[in-house]
């Protein structure tokens, strides 16, 4: 599957979750529900995948985590916001 097709499928899954749950819940709730939706659609993913920092040739575990890593190709960072400023339009789960 190509990157565009993968990202379109993931966006579709996120829209399904948002339509079902609506806004205002904890990020962890959306994360678990999106993971379930990805699984239902046969999309490979990992939750809370560690992301080390490379510094001067060494890898350091600084506690960074990727919310959802999809098919080792797409990084999802789930953010719960109540309002976007300055008319910025973006897809927010």
* Residue 79: band (very low, low, confident or very high) from pLDDT cuts 50, 70, 90: confident
Residues 6+ positions from 27 with CB-CB distance below 8 Å: 67, 78, 79, 80
Report field, pTM of the whole predicted structure over 0.85 = no
Residue 69 and residue 31: Cα distance in Å, rounded?
11
Name the range with the highest mean pLDDT among 59-63, 65-69, 78-82.
65-69
Average pLDDT score, the chain: 89
Summarize the confidence of residues 30-43 as an average pLDDT. Answer: 97
Residues 6+ positions from 59 with CB-CB distance below 8 Å: 52, 53
Do the strands 65-70 and 58-60 form a parallel or antiparallel pair, or are they unpaired? unpaired
Residue 45 and residue 61: Cα distance in Å, rounded?
21
């Amino acid at each position: 599957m190509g990157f565009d097709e993968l990202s379109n499928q993931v966006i579709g899954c996120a829209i399904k979750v948002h339509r079902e749950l609506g806004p205002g819940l904890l990020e962890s709730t959306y994360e678990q529900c999106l993971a379930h939706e990805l699984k239902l659609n046969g999309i490979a993913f990992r939750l809370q995948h560690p992301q080390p920092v490379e510094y001067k040739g060494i890898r350091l575990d600084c506690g960074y985590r990727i919310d959802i890593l999809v098919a080792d190709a797409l990084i999802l960072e789930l953010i719960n916001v109540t309002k976007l400023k300055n008319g910025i339009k973006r897809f927010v789960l």
